[in-house]
Structure formats: structure tokens, C-alpha cells
Structure 1
Amino acid sequence: MSIRLISFLGTGNYENACYRWNNESYSSKYVVFAIAKMLQNIESQKNIEVVLLATDKAWQAHGQSVCDTFAQADLPTPQRRTIPDGASQDELWNQFEIILDVLQSSDDVVYIDITHGFRAQPFFASGVIQYLQSVFNRSEDVHVIYGEYNRNQPENSRIWDLTPFVELSEWSRSLLLFLKTGQAQGVVEPTRKIGRDLKKKWAAEGRQGQPTDLDQLAKLLEKFSDDFITVRTGCLLLGPESSSQQLVNMMEKARDEVIQILPPLGKVVDMVIERLKPLCGATCLSDPQGQAALQYLSMLYFKMGRIAEACATLREGWITKYADSRSDKPGTVDFDKDAREEAEKRFFERHENLGKQISQLRNDIQHAGYRKDPMPPKTIINQFLQLHSQWVRETQSTLTQS
């Protein structure tokens, strides 16, 4: 396994400095060389490959000198990738494509040094990373670093690890996607990565005990997502062991520790908790609290564009309003199929026309429009909203009467 170190070469007059990073230090006027030497000690079992992104002017100014510096230290000669000046829109896109190719062509650990990136180049590097994460699912082992030249104390110049900001972007984007779709696949590994970073932070600070187990949070995200996308209503909603309640509990527990690693994530975690809390607390689904949870779940599916799941939950929720204790806890040992059929019969006796409308809506979607005259999409959407509003009104009316 190897490390690819990608760095920008500029035209500036670089001065000698002692760069410090991860308890390592090295003096050079070329920050990329200092980083390569320190990586050689930090990652001693891995080969280091260096790629320099440079315009023609930058290469004329420093190319031969930096290559000689590497050669004198017995390090592999850096590969040069020529980039345009970025003087036009086409050249800017060309820069983007080149950075993308350099990143995408490596399957190994990548470090991107943006110290001497000029104009939009550091921004492009960040954009390329996000593009790779979103389109090609490349998320692990990409690090962003920056060498801060200390003009007053050159012997105390630092290398800053900016990777947490990349991770913040990835985790935030994945969590927001989870909120929009219910799919947790993209957020599981970033969650485990933050857990590993948290354990390292505790160890470095000499703290006693163990931080919150974010591996468990990742598992609960997966469990909730599985229940949600397969419409396992009882598993999602019922009791303290429901996947919704367990996930909310774990997120509340982990929140303060997560923001130690990535502080802005606190707001995103709060958004997830706020979104899921209305699904929690039901012990059965026929009482007001259970009905409210079902109504919220049905609308949540609708807002996520999961119309089939929304309509199925709508139908079963209406029927559950007329269920007793033998048929209002799906997925439990107490659930009785015959009692459920009795509840369905009571619902249709009370709401014959409404029951037909709900069944037609659900069946039209379930059969994927395989009819001579399937409902138009707008009709499906409008009927769902109408039937859902009626369900909410009747539940509230029942509460008022009682």
C-alpha cells in the first residue's frame, strides 16, 4: 500500500522553515518536501508517491529545484501534472478535471497539501473531494493539510490537518440525505469514522472510561433505516425498544461528544432528533398517541416521496383506529390476525365510501398503474392529502368528544 501526496507548486519566493506535525518536524523551504519526510516517519510501512500540480511559470520557478531536493533525500522524484493558469472559465474547468483525475486515479491513501494553491485551486480541491464522495462514493483515506508559514518564528511553522472539515461536509450531507430519504447507508461509515476519532481524542487527552459507542449509533441508524424503508411499523413505533426511540436516545447521548470532534454537527444531530421524536413513545397504535405517531409516519413517507408507503400507512392507520388490544401492536406476539380482520370490518362498516376510496388509492399504487385507466399522479397526491387530513380531523374530534 502507498500514499499519494498531492501538492500545488506556486511561483512565490519560498523561505526555509521548520514545519511541525504529529510530533514530527522537518526543515525545508518546500513544504511538500517537509510533509513527505514527516509522512515517511509517520507512515513508515508505506511508499510515498508525490504529484505536483503546477503551471508552466511555477514549474520554471521551482520544478527542478524541488525535484533535486527529493532526489538528494533518496525520495522518489515527484510527478508533474501541468495545470492551466485559470485565466478563463474553460481553464478553470480544466483545472477541476486535472485535480479530479489525480485524485480518482489513486486507490490508496491520499493527502492533499493546499499550502501553495493559487486563487481557486484550494476551493477546487475541496469541490473535487465532495464530488468524489457524492458521485463515486470515495470517502475514506482522503486528507487535506495546510502548511502555515510562521513569518515571526519560521522554526515553529505548523501543518494543519483540515480533514475534519471534509468529514463535516460528508457527515452533514449524509445525515441530511438520511432525513430526506430514510436511507442510512451513506451515513453509517462516516459515523464509525467519527467514533474512531473520538476514541483517539479521549486517549490523547488521557481521559478515563470510554466515549459513547458510535459503532452502536451506526447500527441503530441501519436498524431504523431498514425498518423505515421496509415499512416495519411496529418495529419503528412501539415501545422503548422501537428503532425510533433507540436511535433518538443514542443521538441524544452522543450529541455532546460528537461536537467535540466536529462542533457544527450538533445542529444537524438536533435536526435528526427533532424529525424522529414524534415517532417515539407509543405503546399501542389505536390510542391518540399511537394514532398521532402513525399520522406523522404516513406524512413523513409522503414528504420523502415514498407515496406507496404513505398510502399503505394511511390505510392501516385508519383501520387501527378501530382496533383493540389484540390487533393494534403489529409485529408483536400479541397481534391476532382474526382480530385485525374484525377491526377492518368495523372500519368499513363505519366508513363504507371512505374505505373504498382508501382501498382504491392503495391498490392503484400497489399494482403500479397496471390498469386501463390508472389514477394520474396529481390525483393520487391530492387524494392522499385529503384522506390524511380527514384522518387527523377525526382523531382530534374523538379526543374533543372524550
Structure 2
Amino acid sequence: MGRKFLSFLGASPYKECCYVYDDGNNLDRVTTKYIQEALIKILCKDWNKDDKAIIFLTDFARKENYWNKEDETRRLKDKLLNLNISIKDISIPNGKNQDEIWEIFNTILNEIEEGDEIIFDLTHSFRSIPMLALVILNYAKVLKNVKLKGIYYGAYEARWTENSKEIAPIFNLITFDELLEWAQAVNSFTRYGNSRHLKELASRVLSSKLRERDQSAILVKNFVEKLDDFINTIYNCRGKGIFNEKNSDKKSISCAYKSMRKNLDNLIEDKNDTLKPLVPLFNKVKETTKDFEKGDNLTTGIAVIKWSIDNNLTQQAYTALDETIKTYVCVKFGLDETDKNNREEIVAKALRVRAQKIPKEKWKIKEEYRNKIEEIVVNLDNKLVQLSDKVNNLRNDINHFGYTVDVMDYKKLNSRIKNLYEEFRKHLEKE
């Protein structure tokens, strides 16, 4: 674990210029023909001999620019040895075929250790190296938990003349790597319903901007936090609509969705240029969650069932379907679906006695609810009753951790919920 500066050295006869880097707070200038010297002097000021600059170079680049026997002005090695940092030079092949490209890949990866902080210089990378570098860096993030501090490019071709001196800008391209991470995180959400990647990424990438009270960063942070609330209300089956109550966006799926959408719309409508590349990605989140827009308890329940099935949340899907059938019956028979007695003492018992064909004289119910229960039992569609009974039994199988008489295997549980949901959806369409 340490700090490493990784760079490639080419064989061209580089010309001296003044490299300029503006990080938004400071403007640094270094006059040299070697971008490596400029970057180390600008970015590694507080580094010491425990930190390391690693230069990857072909045999020809070593001969021409690292230690040129005939021309002492083409000796990068001399310049680097004068800096307060450990230097290591590593030979790599030319990358003319796939075997050589893989050799370069493994050579670079072997120099990266667990937990390293990496500064990557792409200025003189050649052929497939820029693409390879991006792959290696993202591979190492997963494999070795490295932290990428910057990807730099000394743009000599973008130079200008100032007082007879050539000036070349240095660009930090890390925002493009971060954009790739945002795309991966949004993909994790849209494909698997997982908001954790987005939350962790926002926390890491936005931290410095949040300390500066950057408004765009605040918009993204607020949206990601509300999206995480929304997903966690689904994970924890918070199906009842709760509004105008403290922490209601953590107690209610529909409330959490509205809060998330409000923050998402604020972000999308913001005109700041830094957000523009993220907006199309976040629009994918908007599209993926549109089934929750209506917000009533029945529609929310149906949306949760579908979301849970699509994202392999089988237990949540069974719970949502079981409870949404009760919601549907409440609505159909003019009962307040948010009232616990209506759901459990009337609807649940009506479904049970009808499914089990229990004679009236053996009903275990509260007398105050008898008339309503009789009304429901008489008028309920038989297919809905059978559906409810199947769902309830399978929900019990899951909730009892498989400690039931007839334990069903997980493949059948996953398959059954899809069929049961389709059956319920078709029933609703007939109404």
C-alpha cells in the first residue's frame, strides 16, 4: 500500500516547453521537455522515498530518452533521480501483437499493490496503451482496491506561445473515468435494482466538492440518498402510503418515491455543465421507476411486485402480492385499505374461510364484522380466492425459513411468483 506515479516514456525527440496545470485553486508551471518531470514536481510535492514513480518504456525508448549516451539533454533518468521520490524503470514490449499486449497488461498490473493510490500519466502512451490503461485501472480497483487520484495528459499539441515561450496545458482526465463508474453504477441499479453502488460512488467522488458546497454535487448527493431510501423501503416492504409524518420517506415506498423523483427532477432541470453527462444516465433511473408514479396503495403494491420479480427479490414479491390482494379486496368492497382491522379481521378472514370452505357457524371472527365478511365471501371471484390461498401458503414457506412440511425449492418459488403475479394482473384487467 503506497502512492505510485505510473507513466510511459516514448522515443520521440521531445521539445522543451512550459507545462501548465490549473487545478482550480493553484496554477503550477514547470519548464521541461519531459512531462514526467513536470507532473511529479506539480502533483507529488509531498511525496518521499516511500513513494514511487514507475516509468514503463520499450528498449528503444530507454536508449533514446531515458539514458541517451550521445545526448545528455535526453536523459530523463538524471532528472528523476534529482527528485525526492523513488524511481523504478520497467521494460515493456512494443505491443505489436496480442501476446505483447497481454505482457504489458500483466507487467503494469504487477507493479500495483493492494490499496495503492495511483496517479496515471497517459501523455506518451502508444498504440493500445490508453485503452489498456483504462482497463487495468478499473480491474485494479476491484482486484486490489486501489484509489485512482488522477489520469493526466500533457497536451503539447494544444500549446500556445507566450513571450516567445511555448506553453502546454496539462489535463486531468479523471472525470471520464468517473463517468464510466457512474455508468456502471446506474447499470447496477437499472438491471438489478441495487442502489448501493451509486451511494458508495457518490460518497467517494463528491466528497471534495461537497466540502466546497458545490451546488451540483449537493443535487447529486440528495438524489442518490433519496434513491437509496426508496430502494430500502422496497427491501423492507414499507408498502403503506404514509405522508406528513416524520421520516415518512423511510417508512413508505410511495413517499420515498415522490421524494426521490422531486430530487431527480431538480437535478435533471439544473443547467450546470458538470451535470450534463450524468443527466442521460439518471433519466434511465426515471424510466426504470415510472411504474411508481401514481402513488396510491394499490398501484404501488402492483409496482413493487413487478420490481421485486424483475430484481430477484422473491420474498418481497410474495409479501407484496399477498398484501396487495388484500388492498385490492378492500378497495373493491369500499373499505379503507390502510386500516389494520379491515385488512386482517375482515378481508384476510373472508379470504381464509372462503378458501377453506369453513361453514358460517365455525367462523372465528368478531361479530361486528360478520356482515361485511359475508358480503365479501359471497361476492369474491373464486379464482382470486384460490390465488390468494396459494400466495399465502408460499409466503409462509419463505417466512418460516423453510421449516415447513412441504419445503419448495427456490427455483419453483421463483417461477411460481411470476405465474401468480401474471394471474393477478389478468384478474385486475378484467375488472
- What is the TM-score of this pair, normalised by structure 1? 0.81
How does 1:2-401 map onto structure 2 within 5 Å? 3-22=3-22, 23-40=27-44, 44-47=45-48, 49-64=52-67, 65-72=75-82, 74-105=83-114, 107-108=116-117, 110-135=118-143, 138=146, 140-150=147-157, 153=160, 155-193=166-204, 195-196=206-207, 212-234=218-240, 242-257=255-270, 260-283=273-296, 285=297, 291-323=298-330, 328-329=337-338, 335-336=339-340, 339-348=343-352, 349=354, 350=380, 351-366=384-399, 374-375=407-408, 379-398=412-431
- The one-letter amino acid paired with 2:35 is V
Instruction: Flag structure 2 segments of 5+ consecutive residues without an equivalent.
Output: 68-74, 241-247, 355-379
Whole-Å Cα distance in 2 between the matches of residues 352 and 267 of structure 1? Answer: 44
- Equivalent residue of 1:50, what SS? strand
- Equivalent residue of 1:8, what SS? strand
**Structure 1 residue 386: deviation in Å?**
2.9
Conserved? CA contact 2:2–2:115, under 8 Å: no
- The one-letter amino acid paired with 1:62 is N
Q: Which structure's CA Rg is the greater one?
A: 2
Task: Tell me whether 76-85 or 254-263 shows the greater mean CA deviation.
Answer: 254-263
Identity rate, percent: 21
**Structure 1 residue 238: deviation in Å?**
8.2
Whole-Å Cα distance in 2 between the matches of residues 237 and 299 of structure 1? Answer: 21
Conserved? CA contact 1:7–1:52, under 8 Å: yes
Conserved? CA contact 2:219–2:263, under 8 Å: no
The total of aligned residue pairs comes to: 376
Deviation digits for residues 337-391 of structure 1, max 9, x if unmatched?
5742422123343344222322343344445666786556665455333321232
- Equivalent residue of 2:152, what SS? strand
Deviation digits for residues 173-202 of structure 1, max 9, x if unmatched?
112212223322221132245545656898
Deviation digits for residues 108-140 of structure 1, max 9, x if unmatched?
3x21001111111111110012223445554x4
- Equivalent residue of 2:289, what SS? helix
Conserved? CA contact 2:6–2:121, under 8 Å: yes
- Equivalent residue of 1:118, what SS? coil
Q: Sort the Cα spacing of 1:292 and 1:336 in 2 relative to 1 into closer, same or farther, 3 A.
A: closer
Whole-Å Cα distance in 2 between the matches of residues 87 and 389 of structure 1? Answer: 56
Whole-Å Cα distance in 1 between the matches of residues 111 and 184 of structure 2? Answer: 24
- What is the TM-score of this pair, normalised by structure 2? 0.76
- Equivalent residue of 1:320, what SS? helix
**Structure 1 residue 277: deviation in Å?**
3.1
